[in-house]
Each structure stands twice: as structure tokens, then as C-alpha cells.
Structure 1
């Protein structure tokens, strides 16, 4: 495209050819000029090709400039084109009506060349700025729509990976909850019977947000489940999962994991903590303890890492609460953190030591603390209550 074709288009509308010649003489060096000697002709030109700006005489036979402006502003295609009225000194009473119709400016006849050049340049610059703003706004709207779609997909993935049935065993009571943040993360919990006497349970938190985190979460959960069939204990399972997730991880995503195996006949829990928040156990007598053993770093970052494991003995009535950092890092409106001590105190004060009561009390406490502050992360908990064999 040559420079001539790149110049802005000015449509001049006037029933006096001499006035059009004056406008062309003033503006031709900088702009491409199209002319019309009456309103209908102007509207046909606009319909065929939108100009960048319109100079419009008010007093024209048949269809006045005000009527032309009304037609232009009523048409969505031409509504944003700046209209500058050219008016004689005795037509100033029409200015108010013109501005009400959407005119951008008025210039008095006879036209002063520097004023015409300056007004046209200014209103073209304003239009370009508005066009750019509209384009940016449209791009932001599309980006928001894509983000909302991604969030919905992420939520669907996240919810589909959660267990929807609880093992029907009198020896154990399970209660879980996950309050997903608007920006979907990668929290998940899982539980299933490994054999007749052993219950596997897991709580994990994947780094990042959106679909990538949800997909990494799904991969992590599937790997953990599949490796429980092949390996001997939690340490071996998490070591194997870490090795596989670390193999092809260009985005350096990671997952914190607490994985345990409860022997329903004895109450013994063998567990591995890979960089996860230390769980709390509320004993049947009301005492609360923190399981502070950490057996390795977050999973999927360090290939070759060997994870350890620890043993916990649960008695009838004991409740083990495993949670993600969305609980302790929940914030109030002043950006204060909920904190580990707060959670510890709430667990001590739970009037009923059952798994359901523990989860409900913590959720209510976190919600009251946040007091309407926007939730930044998923809030996930799994309570495992041992009832005895």
C-alpha cells in the first residue's frame, strides 16, 4: 500500500462546490478528500466506505446536516466517526442540537485554514486513541473469556479426580472437603482400600494455577494410585512417583504430598511427608499433636531423592487432620494469615471429636477469620477417624 492510500479519509459535505474546493485546497496535502453536495450522497459514500472524519455543512437543501448527523449516529457502523459541523455565524443556534446529536466540533465559515487543519488533526488523533482503547478492551474481554474457560476446565478436572464414595468400613470414618478458589489450583485428596485391612489416604497440593496445575494434579494422583500396587510402603511409593514426575518436567512444577497407609486392625499409620504441611492429630482425650516429621522435599523437583517414612499409632476416637496451606495461609481483609497456632487452638476447642465435627469447625473458623476477603488458594482437608477394630 502506498503513502497516498495510508492517508486518513476526510468526507466533506456541502451544497456549495466552492466551499468544497476550499476544503480540498486546505487538507489535500495531508488527507484523501471525498466530497458530496447533499445529504443522501454523503450517506451513500459512508455506506460504501467509512471515512475517518466528516466535515458537514448544516444548511443544505432537502436533507440538512443535522438530519445527516442523526442518520450517521443511529447507524452502529458510522456512529463513532467524528463529525465537525461547518456553520455560518448566523447558524450558531443550531450548535446545541448538533452536540446533542453527537457532533464532535463546530467550525465557523469562512473557514480559517490553520483552525481547520488543527481541528481535523485533533479529532483524528482522538478517534485513533478511542479506536485503540476499544481494541484493547475487546482483547481484554476475549482474554477474560479464555481465562474463565480455562478456570472452568480446571475445576472440572479437579472435581472429577476426587473420590465420590467412602469405604464402607466400621473401623474408620472419613470426612473431606475442598473449597476451590476462583483461580483453580491443584489440591486433591484421595482414599481407597489397598487390601482387606489397609486404607491408603493422601492429600496433595500442586504448584501453579489453572489447567496446567489441574493436569499435573491428575497425573500425580494417577501415579500415586498406580504405584501403591507395585511398591511396599509409603516411602517407596513417593520415591517412585518423584522419580517419574521429575523425568519430564520442563515447567518445574511440583507437588507437596502427605501419603499414609492405615492398618484398620491395629490403628498403625505408616506415612511419608514430601514437603507438605505437618498434619495435626486430635486424640480422643482432646489433646492435639503435630506430626512434624518431613521425609523429603516437594515431589517432582529432585530426581533420585529417597524419601523416608514414619509410624503413628492411632487409638479409637483419634482424628488425624491432613490439610493444605490454603487453610493456614487464608487471609483476612488486613492480609493477616490464619496461621498454624490458630488451627491448633481450633482443633483443641472442637466440642465433638468426630471427623465431621473437626472438618466443619475448621471450615467455619477459616470463613469467620477471612470475613469476606477474597480466597487466594484452595482450602482442602481430609479427616481420618480411627474407630477401632
Structure 2
């Protein structure tokens, strides 16, 4: 009896050394579980075993041997969920097993283990607990290290995307007597998919635009950066707004694999002719205010990047515009929700725009933000919010 007990101790010691060496060699998770399985099979008197661990929200079998049916991937039986609040060996009615015990590390449940053994269960329980703990703590540490590395990689990616996005927006906007442009941008995440721009074409013409890419975060920001680069290159080559849009659509179609799309509004104003040529590519209703008249600029085409070629396309020219106010925005503004799950919507925005043309554009943007904050109450913004206002005094 004494000799048998010593033999078991030697086997257990060898098993611990093998597992510890495997952990120190930083083997992959699946290899650690295989070593755990074969160590128990070869060195210990365990006939049947099923090891359940948590993967995301589910508890499934990761190691299994000796049973009639293969339990790998099967969920932990519901009646044993309560074991997560217990410690120590518990008798089980689970077919083919003598006992079940939970394995903890620092009050965190790592595993639920079912066994059948020829040895004294109390001794096996203590050793199995220790062995399982070593393996699963190592796996948990590897998971945390991998998660930390992924988070660090994502953080670096985010920093790069943020720098790229900062280059999208013009560093300075004109604020002279005949032309005032003001912009506001509030990303929902660290980086977003909204974009606005002002491009001086020549001494008489400029282009102002706003866009919103489907999707959020880094992919949206990178797609938009490609869009901005294409736009600026095209404006240097041609002043034909229709040609610019056709090329932008093709670029977006290729870059986004016809899976992502961009809503876009662009207007070119000519101080000499007092004409505004614009196109609306599936974007929100853009507001033009001149005198007491409010005009909605909706003509154009569908969103960019979904079809090649575009199913239809037209630009529109508005003449005799010497003094006017142009307000552009993305749908994060009108789709801000309140505590009753009601959207801010276009009508509330239009109400703010009644009356005289805003003289201080920054103050006007603040007025809209105050209205949004009052409307949403405790709700948070769920999308990027961008506004671009343009005031022309060309008399």
C-alpha cells in the first residue's frame, strides 16, 4: 500500500514537471490542453474526464476522454451551472462520471471538471485541481496577453487613422467679408466617417462639400481619406462637377468593394457669375437661404460607391445669388434621439433656420448644439455630427 502511494506521488510529480515545462515553453493553448489530456491518460489512474471552460458567453467541453460519446464542444449541462457558486468535490449523476468539481483561481471560476477514477477521489481531487489550475491559469494569461497585444495594435491603428483623418479637414477656413465658412465636427468614436472640405479653385471659384461614409471607426476613416485625396486631385484636373462625381463614384466603388457607400454634397460657387452649381449624392436635404426664401438642394444622384456607372446623374445651377446662407450637415444631427426614442428630425432643424441669415456662424452652430443637447436629455449621441455653414455677401 505504501509503495503504491509512493508510485502515485511520483507520477503526480512527473505530471506537474511536464506541465510546468510546457507552460514555460510558451506552447499554444491547444498544445497545452493536449499535454494535459495525455498526462492524465498516461500517468494517472483517471479513466474518464470531461473539462468544461468558458468561451465568450458559453461553457463548452474542451478536453474529454474515456466516455462512450465524444463530448468535445458540447455545452455544460444546465444543472451544473450552480457549481459556479461552490467549491470542492461534488457527487454527480452525469452519466459515466463519479464526481465533479469546479476549479477556481483568485475567486474566478476557470473550469468545471467531471472525472471517474480508480484512485481515492479526495487525493485525485486535490491533485487534479492543482494540475488543472496550472494549465488554465497559463491559458488565461496567454489570452490576456493576446488581448493586450490586440488592444495595443488597435490603439496604434487608431492613432494612425486619427492622424490621417486630421489631414482630411482644412486647417483654415475663409472668414472674410464676402465669404465666411464655419465647420463643426463631433466624432462618435475616436475616428469617424464624416468629412467636410473647402477647396479654392481659382480667384473666382471655390468648392464646399460634406460627406458621410457608411460604417464607423478606422475602416470608415481610411475610406474617407482616399475619397478626399481623389476629390482634391480631380478638382485640379477639371472644374466639371459631373465628371468629378463620376470619377469619385468609380474610386469609391473600387475602394469599398461595392460594400461601403458615401453620401456626398458638393457646391461650386462663382463670384464672377454669381452662380452656384451643386450636386446631392444621396445626402441629407441641404438648406439654402437667400432673403426670405428657403430652398432645399436635393438634385443630383444616388449614393457613391454602390453602382458603376451611376444610374442617373445631374447637376443643378442656381443663378443671381449674391447674398445667401448655405447649411450642410450629416445625418447624425437629425437622427439624434431623445429619451422617448424620438428623432430630432429635419423639421426641428428647419425651425431654427427661420428668420434672418445667421451673421455669426460659430454662434449659430452652438445654437443648434444647445437645441440638440436639450432635446436628447440623458441620451448620448449615437453617430458622428458634422456641420458646415457658408455665408456669401457678394454685392
Q: Does 1:125 align with 2:132?
A: yes
State the match for 2:14 in structure 1: 32
Structure 2 vs 1, CA of residues 206 and 173 (structure 1 numbering), >3 Å: closer, same or farther? same
Which of 297, 302, 305 pairs up with 1:297? 302
Matched with 2:216 is 209
Alignment of 1:169-180 (within 5 A): 169-180=176-187
Moved more, 376-385 or 327-336: 327-336
Matched, 1:161 2:172: no
- Report which stretch shifted further, 302-311 or 196-205: 302-311
Post-superposition CA distance 1:57-113 (Å, at most 9, x none): xxxxxxxxxxxxxxxxxxxxxxxxxxx9xxxxxxxxxxxxxxxx99xxxxxxxxx93
For the Cα contact (< 8 Å) 1:262–1:270, is it kept in 2?
yes
Q: Which runs of 5+ in 2 are unaligned?
A: 27-35, 37-87, 89-105, 108-118
2:229 is the alignment partner of 1:229: no
Q: Distance in 1 between matches of 2:341 and 2:10?
A: 61
Structure 1: tracts of 5 or more residues without a match? 1-17, 36-44, 53-83, 85-100, 103-111
For 2:363, the equivalent position in structure 1 comes to: 357
Distance between the aligned counterparts of 1:349 and 1:136, measured in 2?
60
1:49–1:330 Cα change, 3 Å: closer
TM-score (norm 1): 0.66
Q: Partner residue of 2:389? A: 383
What's the C-alpha RMSD, in Å, of the aligned pairs? Answer: 3.6
> Does structure 2 conserve the Cα–Cα contact (< 8 Å) formed by 1:188 and 1:205?
yes
Task: Choose 1 or 2 for highest CA Rg.
Answer: 1
Given that 1:26 and 1:117 are in contact with CA atoms closer than 8 Å, whether structure 2 keeps it comes out as no
Counterpart for residue 262 of structure 1 = 269
Report the Cα offset of residue 195 of structure 1. Answer: 1.7
Q: Normalized per residue, which structure has more strand?
A: 2
How big is the shift at 1:283?
3.9
Retained in 2: the 8 A contact 1:153–1:211?
A: no
Q: How many aligned positions are there? A: 301
Q: How is 1:186-335 mapped onto 2 (pairs within 5 angstroms)?
A: 186-247=193-254, 249-250=256-257, 252-285=259-292, 288-293=294-299, 295-305=300-310, 306-313=312-319, 315=321, 318-332=324-338, 335=341
| Mapped contact 1:288–1:344 kept (Cα < 8 A) | no
Distance 1:330-1:374 versus aligned 2 partners, 3 A rule: same
